[in-house]
Amino acid sequence: MFIQQLYTGCLSEAAYYIESNGEAAIIDPMRDIDEYLEIANKRKATIKYIFETHFHADFISGHLDLAAATGATIVYGPDTITKLSVHIAKDGEIFSIGNITIEVLHTPGHTLESSCFLLKDENKNAHAIFTGDTLFVGDVGRPDLAQKGEELTMHDLAGMLYDSLQQKIMPLANHVIMYPAHGAGSSCGKNLGPETYSTIGEQKQTNYALQPQTKEEFIKAVTEGLATPPQYFPINAKINKEGYDSLDKILENGLQKFSVTAFKEKMNDDNIIVLDTRPATVFTQGFIPHSISIGLEGRFAEWAGSILPFNKTLLLVTEIGKEKETLIRLARVGFEKFAGYLDGGFNAWKNAEQTVDMIIDVEADELAMDIPFDESLVVVDVRKETEYADGHLKQAINIPLGEMTDTTVLADLEDNYNIYVHCAGGYRSVIAASIMKKEGIHNLRNIIGGWNKIKELKDKFEIEKTIEALN
């Protein structure tokens, strides 16, 4: 028996390769399937099954392309509704892979079709369980993602999740290894732990959701404090349920290269958004006017899905050689409309003596010196509400980056303000500043190092917490 976790850090997503006696299964594959094919080929194994724990909302699954490439059967759990060619398993149904078996455990709660897969070894002993978004290290899946047409409230799903955990997870032996679909940073739960796997015994001891409690207490615990899910979640769930274009077709369209002249012509189309994926620290030094910055170095795909409209066509500016990576990572969260990319990158634009914009970077101590003497100074903190509540500059206003898709939140920022923008470390603030620039707000300064640097100079600032955070 062979198990390999394949972890994608920028989405905090875990897929799994399982193999026994020349037969293999993939659980929750990403859209780019080459890695799974390469492992199977290297190990001289045949991929027999593709198990999906549920219709994922935070990424596009590779189930369709992988099935087309291998002939493998796609397996979903009970209560799955789709027109795709899949096998809808019964609760308790068993699938053989070489000398091992996988049993389907229907665990509704995160979604109606959510299921876990219990792996039993050659001796029919429970060895590991793949829990999808039902159970994470230190957390459980959010119960507020009911799909269109499902007349269910968040509390309904949370109640189902309680029953699933009590009936299907708690009876498992403590030694059983627990492999979830996500790790820390994922928006599929509230506060996932840093480890990417655990054991059932460890989770019974440490996971708040598995502690002795009534159903009502559980529902309250898992529903309180849930942040609004990213805007792309329902879009991704719909794509996974209904199907999508092959990744090869997307790459064919997206890898068209344009000269500076042709690129400039493309930009005149109102349906085009110019996306610059160079590092944030590079973008601020110079960029094509009206372009949006989302650097590949951060949680790139997640922020792209949270901010960019899916009904527009993307025109890319990347570091040379990063074009394909950019397209793949965008396709992972459902982007399929690409016009192409700027041949030669930003340097080609600059060398052609085209108009260049920039964002002024300043150190935190410069902000400290300016605050007492500048009555028109405004600090915009683009961190999440919970981050802001846990500590912020007294004079800062909070406009979370995820809310900037509604540009009316910027309406109160007057032209005569001197605006200083910061996040936690400097990545999100550059994205925010690029959005502000695109909306015609140009009197901006980006605080290098963000809140992390501000805290180091706490004696020079007035810092406060909200009452809610203090309590």
Whether the predicted pLDDT of 261 surpasses 50: yes
CATH 3.60.15.10, applies to 2-236: yes
List, for residues 33-77, the tens digit of each pLDDT value: 999 999 999 999 999 999 999 999 999 999 999 999 999 999 999
CATH 3.50.50.60, applies to 360-470: no
Whether the predicted pLDDT of 148 surpasses 90: no
Q: Give the three-class secondary structure for 385.
A: helix
List, for residues 332-387, the tens digit of each pLDDT value: 999 999 999 999 999 999 999 999 999 999 999 999 999 988 888 999 999 999 89
List, for residues 408-458, the tens digit of each pLDDT value: 999 888 878 999 999 999 999 999 999 999 999 999 999 999 999 999 998
Encoded tokens for 185:
């940073």
The highest-confidence range among 116-120, 385-389, 390-394, by mean pLDDT, is: 116-120
| Count of residues in the chain | 471
Distance CA 170, CA 156 (A): 20
Q: What is the pLDDT of residue 471?
A: 41
The model's confidence at residue 191, banded by pLDDT at 50, 70 and 90, is confident
Percent of the chain with pLDDT over 70: 98
Q: What is the pLDDT of residue 104?
A: 98
Percent of the chain with pLDDT over 90: 89
Q: What is the pLDDT of residue 374?
A: 85
Q: Where do the CATH 3.40.250.10 domains begin and end in the chain?
A: 245-351, 360-470
Whether the predicted pLDDT of 235 surpasses 50: yes
Task: Measure Cα distances from 427 to 144, 281, 284, 360, 383 in Å.
Answer: 28, 8, 11, 14, 11
Q: Where do the CATH 3.60.15.10 domains begin and end in the chain?
A: 2-236
Please give the model's pTM, rounded to 2 decimal places: 0.92
Determine if residue 39 is left, alpha or beta; phi over 0 gives left, psi from -120 to 50 gives alpha, anything else beta: alpha
Whether the predicted pLDDT of 470 surpasses 50: no
Which CATH fold would you assign to the domain 245-351? Oxidized Rhodanese; domain 1 (3.40.250)
The model's confidence at residue 469, banded by pLDDT at 50, 70 and 90, is very low
Closest CA to 173 of 120, 101, 99, 135: 120
The residue-averaged pLDDT of 256-266 equals 97
